[in-house]
Chain A
Amino acid sequence: MAGLFSREVWNPRERPYSSDNNREAAYVELALRAAIAAFTTPRTSAANPSAQTPVPTGFIGEAFKCYAPPVDTPYILAIAPGIGFVGGAADAASSIGGVIGVDDTDTFKPLVLSRPEFIQIVNNPTTLNRIDLIEVRYRRELVTPSPMQTLDTDTGIFVPDAVRKSLTWDCAGQQGTVVSPAPSTACIGYKVGIPAVSPTYPAVTPGYIPLAWFRILPGQPGFTDPQQITEERRLLAPYGVYTIAMTISVDSTVPGAPGVTLVEFGAPPGVEVPTFTHAEPSATSREVTCVLRSLPLGVTTNANRFTSNVQVLSTTTTAFPVVVGRTITVGAVTPPSVDAIITLNFQALILTTAGLSLTTALGVFGNPTVYRITITYW
């Protein structure tokens, strides 16, 4: 196999082999995968500007996101179709299935789900809590058996034969259920946890990528709360950086969460809508708290990799709202929930140009006040 963007060449009057066609397809796919990896891989660290090696696993948009089921199918978990990639897979393969030129030499392996996948959740008849796991591995398999003709080299005659015509990565329908601690074997593995007072997380099967953990309460009719599902995917974004932006309206006369309305929300597909609350701890400041659950950050969550900006538009030509970040924290709800939450807390006041002095006056805020929030994850 030559380098990226290589092409197989068919020379004039050359008798081509089947391997020529296979290599051509392998070249095209290799270039596409390498370009995606280069475009989406973050730097190694603050001190090291090199791209991360191995290339981290990630998913495009909502691909492979586990959703709470519709209300009429409470014991069904849905997985969204799309494309992801497993990074750092070491099993370079050539002549897959013995077919010359069908090669997979890159370590960035496609994870493909061509249609929504639905998983029947195992009931929890005990009186204890349980944590289950959905995990996935890539599929690289020869499929589509077809009647073709192959050359009989003894006679020189083409004879009927059954051969497989496709190499697929599609995980659709490739699901299986095991009970922890047994390892998953199907491409999409549903690993049922062990009920306990303080249930433990089922271990991720070697070679698999965790998609989500979810808790099943005793006697619970399936999912009653989307927060039972905790995202473990990592979003693919240009160089690993993406933005979550929103516009909220805060009514200071309505305390707590009901006083905050999400007006607009801009984020990559698959990012859940945050929750909010607000308070006025002093006569001159207002606090807004934004809680983000199930962000597609992968299994590592680091508050130091968030930057946020909040602004309130001036209500008059003499009012200058000042909104600053108060805290950005990462926390985890105690079991049986396994959700990590990111909390951003802002505080605001308004400086006014009264005469030649600046004064603080919370009352200068309009009511409701519109906040524009931009959160960058990097």
Chain B
Amino acid sequence: MIGLARDLFAHSIVTLSWWLIGILGMGVYVIAVYDSIAGIQDLQDLFDQYPESIRDLFGDVDLSTVNGWIQVELLSWIPLVFGMYGGIFAAGSISRETEQRTVDFVLGLPVSRSQFLGSRLAVGLVNLGIMCITLFLLMVIGVALTGHSPSAGRYAFALLNAYLLGAALFSGYVLIASFTDEQARVTGIAIGATLVLYIATGALNAADAPNWLQWLSPFEHYHSAEIMSGDGVPILPQVVLVVGGIIAASAALYSYNRRDIAS
């Protein structure tokens, strides 16, 4: 499995680099412009006038602080990127293998299906981790370079929460890819589902939907705003994301081990 994962990782680096360039570009831009907008009261007023559901999505924070600004402009949407990356990676490394029949080569070797799928899960999780670590370093270094005091602990926990959310979404998309052979279909489902879940989280909040319904959305368990505001790290949502991810990954392994791989 290590050999398979190493091979996949080596060949995912170019694509990962482009995602990192995009994320870093946005991160640099957000941090760089903070000083020029920090004193604009109108911006905070505008934000305060947003519907509650939208503010819930971004996080109800003080936009005049650097942490509040980073939360609204970067951390509030970064799980969307992680979710989309996870879906595209799952489609490309699992469904595409069946669609293009390269899976015949790999599973013609003494490699179990669990090892095959496990290597895909492992590399996807590592790549998401690399994105988070890169963002963390950017935030710490970038905020320090702009003359402010970085809150490394808050950044780390907020990004850990984002990572767990991204990992849970990725595991869900691996589950879909485990029984869907068309790469384009899985990619479409993953991107669509990520956006719908993100928007539905705010909508359910605004509609005062029952708690159990809100809990079904993975984004409901993302609390970067509280973490960035210094309100502590809620533990239960992290546990829910970990358990959800494990359940989805286990279901994917079960499904992939039982399915037929036709020619």
A and B: bona fide binding partners: no
- Listed in ascending order, the chain B residues whose CB lies under 8 Å from chain A are none
